[in-house]
Chains A and B, each alone.
Chain A
Amino acid sequence: MCSLLRGEEMCLAQLFLQSGSAYDCINELGELGLVEFRDLNPGVNAFQRKHVNEIKKCEEMERILGKDILIFNIHMCYHHNYYCSYVHYHWVYVCVCSQEQLQRLEVELGEVTRNKEKLQRNLLELTEYTHMLRTTRNFVQRTSEVSYEEFPFLEKDTLMDYSSMQRLGAKLGFISGLIQRTKIEAFERMLWRVCKGYTILSYAEVEEYLEDPDTGEPTKSVVFLISYWGDQIGQKVKKICDCYHCHLYPYPSSNEERTDVVEGLRTRIQDLHTVLHRTDDYLKQVLMKASESVYTWVIQVKKMKAIYFILNLCSFDVTNKCLIAEVWCPVNDIPTLRRALEEGSRKSGATVPSFVNRIPTNDTPPTLIRTNKFTSGFQNIVDAYGVGNYREVNPAPFTIITFPFLFAVMFGDLGHGVIMALFALWMVLYENNRKLKNTRNEIWNTFFEGRYIILMMGLFSIYTGLIYNDCFSKSLNIFGSGWSVKAMFEAKVWKDADIRGNRVLTLDPNVTGVFRGPYPLGIDPIWNLASNRLTFLNSYKMKMSVILGVIHMSFGVILSTYNYLHFRKKHSLYLVFLPELLFLLCLFGYLVFMIFYKWLVFTAKDSRLAPSILIHFINMFLMQGDGVQPLYPGQTGLQVFLVVIAVLSVPVLLLGKPVYLYWLHNGSHRLGMYRGYERVRRNSEEELYLMRAHDMEEGSSHSDLSTSGERQTEEFDFADEFLHQAIHTIEYCLGCVSNTASYLRLWALSLAHAQLSEVLWTMVMRVGLRMDTSLGVFFLVPVFGLFAVLTVSILLVMEGLSAFLHALRLHWVEFQNKFYSGTGVKFCPFSFSLLPSSFEHDGLL
């Protein structure tokens, strides 16, 4: 109960887990996300923990799975059949993952892929060879008409040619192969320089693109044929070919040989194509089978790793048969925890059940505040300042109303509020749409998380827009204005000549009939036409800001009483809260009273004699009441009284609490024996321990005093306490003044928003509306589009963020300073749903 106001009551519990059922019990706990485990082996580093081997195995499996998913994705891109059906991981246990299975899968996939690569390389070589044979045949046929005298080409009769070569004492040799097209010119030049004309190079380009086996890119190759004579030249040519990474193939010496080789190559190529096709099919089959379960396996491995990590945090008991874990658990969830442990024991088939035992502790538990989708946004913005201490008053439920209200005071425009509320309503209505929930755009996620905040801000802005009577900088005349211009004419104050002669005229509310009464809701629409509009509105908004500020701060001070009462610090109620409240109300509460007094008592008739509140306020401090006429009889006396009370409350605030605590701890030494007698009466240490625990839960030990000792006579450091209180006093008193002035930002931002809105209308929309040419209407269409875009970008986004920021600052500093400490630790339960998914980062899941 009251979880949102204060946070859940937490307790420290000990889980006794049987070794056999430990894994299953922790599995159950992870599914439920109930408890936070404490580290019972803090001195041990990561490599010395008990289950380090299991964690290593889990990481190995994760690696294999990651690689497999990568291979799977690459292949499925080629064969886009089943790629898109895996959007969600499914929780059904298709097959239990084991490390051996994964390793087998990895080895198999590796083999198949390697074979495929080898075959592809083979295929490439054969294809190149075929190209080469085909092209060089063209060379031979082409150049057979031209025959050199010294080097007749080989024809059908090899023997004859051989002998004719021998006549010259040289052997004609051929080297043929393929080279990349980019290198052929350099190759040719190198050959010429080295062999100086003793070689002949002919080459031709291959039309098709061949795949380069190393890079996989299609490249153009050139078939070349080098004819040389002499052995030395031959070796030089071979070396040069090696340098240029040519693929060399044996050159057939005769045409029959050539045709034979070509035939053989063709069959081999066909065979290879068949084999590659079969390999592809097989690979696809293996991947298909694995893919059905690979996503489940990823989740299982993650869970396994998390469970082993938690098992590492536990310790063994004396008998070494049972695992002990210490957890922080909400008191209301202890029955659920018991049930989960029973479930885990049942699943593992253990004979002895695991159980939970609550233990008392002096440590401060972490803070747990349960929120739903509406309150979580507001709780987040409070937690961004600081997570509350254990069982401290949580400002979030109040923030739900005050934050949108203060935002709306600064934003106050009906039209803009409607647009903001509609935008937020769209987000809220479509909040279950997966596409909206799961985008990775950070900025969109921020807006989406705060959709309820934005909705509240928009609705409140509609209300303040009605009060300020401002809708896209124009006022709405719903009820009929309370001012009448005709009455000025009827009373003969103005004549027709006056209108022609004067630029501006003032409506006098003292003339009968001019001011017929206040506008029922908000600011009268006639002020939109007035040139002294800002003078009127500024005075009104400034006073409103101060009033709202003092109310907000007083509320903050009053909330601190909740803390004092809950933590049994009644002395703070009289020695801290009362002086604080008196100081604030005597000075600034009186200012608010004077504002209301002036509003109510002075009418349009006495407007000339109306005093300035500021002068009166300053005179109050200077104790000079004689210069100006008093607002009411007895004002001087009352003011002196209030100032004296405020000044007296400062030393009480400064000294009260330290002196009282000093007296409490040191003055009671004489009573110590009496207390000791009481202590002796309690014969068991355990009873005392439990009593302390009871006290702890009631919160009495939660104070700034050091209560870590076990005895009632704690160490009390007067100097420390006094310094702390002195800082608090100075901060509070000076803060009262500066924070009240700080609330004037409510006025400043609302003025800025109204003026920006007016400027936008005047500069953009008016230009479109004032077009009186016949085609002017078509100009209005783009002008309105521009107006809409600028409204959204400048007035909604920029001003909205600005007002959001300032409202947040007012909450964090001016409001929470008065009662909130925010130095707690957040409760992070062990839950599988909170595990980060590393695969999501790679975009694979």
Chain B
Amino acid sequence: MPSLLFCGPKMAACGIVISIWGVIMLAMLGIFFSAKSAVLIEDVPFTEEDIRKDTNPPQNIYSLYNQVGINCFIAAGIYVAVGAVSLCQVRLNKRQEYMVT
């Protein structure tokens, strides 16, 4: 079986740090989007149409908020996977270090 190691120790450590940061930050962003925070209004992809054609305001905007929130949660999940891969790489690197000496 070919070696599963494809990045060095420093790159794997960076991967872990960015993954942890990504998980925490994207999860919190997801929570804030789901709570329909007003400060994040500019990040929601709404158009003029959505506001004008809204039959039951502000449900359109709210559904967009929810959508972005779910996007954030999915991205957080992907970062969990990236973090797991990085953790494996760190462990493999450590094992290789023991074998050389």
A778, B18: Cβ atoms under 8 Å? no
Contact B37 A788 (CB under 8 A): no
- Are A772 and B74 touching (Cβ within 8 A)? no
Q: Are B67 and A784 in contact (CB under 8 A)?
A: no
Asked if B42 and A778 make an inter-chain contact with CB atoms under 8 angstroms apart, the answer reads no
Contact A780 B71 (CB under 8 A): yes
Tell me if A529 counts as interface (CB < 8 A to partner B): yes
Is B25 on the interface with A (CB-CB < 8 A)?
A: yes
Q: Which of B18, B22, B45 contacts A772 (CB 8 A)?
A: B45
With contact pairs A777-B74, A780-B75, A784-B25 given, residues A772 and B40 touching in the complex (Cβ less than 8 Å):
no
A764 to chain B, nearest CB (A): 12
Cα(A475)–Cα(B32), bound, Å: 12
Residue of A nearest to B41 (CB): A529
Closest to B26 in A: A784
Chain A neighbourhood of B67, CB < 8 A: 772
Whether B101 lies near A784 (C-beta < 8 A) is no
Is the C-beta of A770 less than 8 angstroms from some C-beta in chain B?
A: yes
- Per a CB cutoff under 8 Å, which of A525, A769, A785, A788 touches B39? A525
Instruction: Give the distance in Å from the alpha carbon of A769 to the alpha carbon of B74 in the complex.
Output: 12
Is B72 interfacial (CB-CB < 8 Å)? yes
Contact mask for chain A residues 766-780; partner B; CB cutoff 8 A; 1 contact, 0 none = 100111100011101
Interface range, B side: 20 to 34
Q: In chain B, what residue has the closest Cβ to A765?
A: B43
**B78 in contact with A778 (CB, 8 Å):** yes
**A766 to B, closest residue via Cβ:** B43
Tell which of B40, B44, B72, B82 touches A780, judged by Cβ atoms closer than 8 Å: B72
Contact residues of B: prevailing secondary structure:
helix
A781 touching B38 by the CB < 8 A rule?
Answer: no
Docked complex Cα distance between A285 and B64 (Å): 79
Interface string of B70-87 (1 = CB under 8 A from A): 011011001100100000
Report the Cα distance A765→B44, complex, angstroms: 12
> A-B pairs with CB below 8 Å: how many?
58
Q: Is the CB of A769 within 8 A of B68?
A: yes
Q: How far does the Cβ of B36 sit from chain A's closest Cβ, in whole Å? A: 12
Determine how close the nearest CB of chain B comes to the CB of A485; give it in whole angstroms: 10
- CB of B80 to closest CB in A, whole Å: 11
Say whether B22 contacts A788, CB under 8 Å. Answer: yes
Select from chain A the residue with minimum beta-carbon distance to B15.
A785
Instruction: Report which of A477, A765, A770 forms a contact with B37, defined as CB distance below 8 A.
Output: A477
A460-499 contacts to B, CB under 8 A, are: 472, 474-475, 477
In the assembled complex, which residues on chain B have CB atoms less than 8 Å from the CB atom of A84?
A: 101
In the bound complex, residues from chain B placing their C-beta under 8 Å from that of A772 are 45, 64, 67
Shortest Cβ gap from A487 to chain B (Å) = 16
User: Across the interface, which residues of B come within 8 angstroms of A784, CB to CB?
Assistant: 22, 25-26, 75, 79
**A528 proximal to B (CB < 8 A):** yes
Q: List A contacts of B18 (CB < 8 A).
A: 785, 788-789
Q: Give complex CA distance A762, B43 in Å.
A: 8
On whether the beta carbons of B39 and A475 are closer than 8 Å, the reply is: yes
State whether the Cβ of B62 lies closer than 8 Å to any Cβ in chain A. no
Query: B67, B71, B79 — which one has the most chain A CB atoms within 10 A of its CB?
Result: B71
A528 contact set on B, CB distance < 8 A? 39
Q: Chain A residues near B101 (CB, 8 Å)? A: 84
* A144-B14 Cα distance, complex, nearest whole Å: 74
In the assembly, what is the distance between CA of A765 and CA of B79, in Å? 16
- From residue 1 to 53 of chain B, which have CB atoms closer than 8 A to chain A? 18, 21-22, 25-26, 29, 37-45
- Chain A residues with CB under 8 Å of B37's CB are 477
Query: How far does the Cβ of A481 sit from chain B's closest Cβ, in whole Å?
Result: 9
A225-263: which residues lie under 8 A (CB-CB) from chain B? none
Q: How far is the CB of B28 from chain A (nearest CB, A)?
A: 10
Which of A525, A766, A789 has a CB less than 8 Å from the CB of B42? Answer: A766
B100 CB → nearest A CB, Å:
10
How many chain-A residues does the 8 Å CB contact rule pick out?
A: 25
Selected from B21, B42, B64, B72, the residue in CB contact (under 8 A) with A788 is B21
Contact between B41 and A785, CB atoms less than 8 A apart: no
Are B38 and A771 in contact, with the CB atoms below 8 A? no
Chain A hits for B72, CB < 8 A? 769, 780
Docked Cα-Cα span, A660 to B78, in Å, equals: 78
- Contacting residues, chain B, for A419 (C-beta < 8 A): 21
The answer to whether B38 touches A529, judged by C-beta atoms less than 8 angstroms apart, is: yes
Q: A475-B39, A784-B22, A788-B21 are in contact. Are A777 and B75 (CB under 8 A)?
A: yes
Contact of A770 with B39 at beta-carbon distance under 8 Å, contacts A780-B72, A784-B26 already known: no
Please, how many angstroms separate the alpha-carbon atoms of A477 and B38 in the complex?
Answer: 9
Of the listed residues A529, A766, A781, the one surrounded by the most CB atoms of chain B closer than 10 A to its CB is A781
A762 to B21, CA, bound (A): 19
A263, chain B: closest CB distance, angstroms: 47
Q: Is the CB of A474 within 8 A of B45?
A: no
**Per-position contact with B for A434-474: 1 when CB-CB < 8 Å, else 0?**
00000000000000000000000000000000000000101
Do the beta carbons of B79 and A781 come within 8 Å of each other? yes
Q: Which residue from A529, A769, A788 sits with its C-beta under 8 Å from B43?
A: A769
Interface membership of chain A positions 411-447, coded 1 if the CB is closer than 8 angstroms to chain B and 0 otherwise:
0000000010000000000000000000000000000
Most buried by B among A419, A475, A788: A788
C-alpha gap A510/B64 in the complex (Å): 35
Task: List the A residue with the shortest CB-CB distance to B37.
Answer: A477
Residues from chain B with a CB closer than 8 A to the CB of A789 are: 18
B26: which A residues are within 8 A, CB to CB?
A: 780, 784
Q: Which B residues are CB-close (under 8 A) to A770?
A: 43-45
Do A781 and B71 touch across chains, with their CB atoms under 8 A apart?
no
Q: Is the CB of B45 within 8 A of A477?
A: no
Q: Smallest Cβ distance from B35 to chain A, in angstroms?
A: 10
Residues on B with beta carbons closer than 8 Å to the beta carbon of A780: 26, 71-72, 75
Are B22 and A477 in touch, CB under 8 angstroms? no
Q: Which residue of A lies closest to B73 (CB)?
A: A777
Closest A residue to B68 by CB, please name it.
A769
Chain A nearest CB, measured from B73 CB (Å): 9
A477 touching B71, Cβ below 8 Å:
no
Q: Which residues of B contact A766 (CB under 8 A)?
A: 42-43
Closest-CB distance, A427 to chain B (whole angstroms): 14
Complexed CA–CA distance, A778 and B74 (Å): 8
- Alpha-carbon distance A472/B68, docked complex (angstroms): 18
Of the residues A475, A525, A765, A781, contact of B78 by C-beta under 8 Å = A781
CB of B71 within 8 A of CB of A771, answer yes
Q: Are B39 and A777 in contact (CB under 8 A)?
A: no
- A residues less than 8 Å from B82 (CB atoms): 781
Alpha-carbon distance between A84 and B97 when the two chains are bound, in angstroms: 14
With a cutoff of 8 Å between Cβ atoms, the chain A residues found around residue B29 in the complex are 769
Chain A positions within 8 Å of B75 at CB level: 777, 780-781, 784
Sample 29 A-B pairs with CB under 8 A, ordered by A number. Answer: A472-B25, A474-B39, A475-B39, A477-B38, A477-B39, A762-B42, A765-B43, A766-B42, A766-B43, A769-B43, A769-B44, A769-B45, A769-B72, A770-B45, A771-B45, A771-B71, A772-B64, A772-B67, A777-B75, A781-B22, A781-B75, A781-B79, A781-B82, A784-B22, A784-B25, A784-B75, A785-B18, A785-B22, A789-B18
Q: Which 7 A-B pairs have the closest CB atoms?
A: A770-B45, A769-B43, A780-B75, A777-B71, A772-B45, A777-B74, A781-B78
Other than the known A770-B44, A784-B25, what 8 A-B pairs have Cβ atoms closer than 8 Å? A419-B21, A474-B39, A477-B38, A529-B38, A770-B43, A772-B64, A776-B71, A780-B72
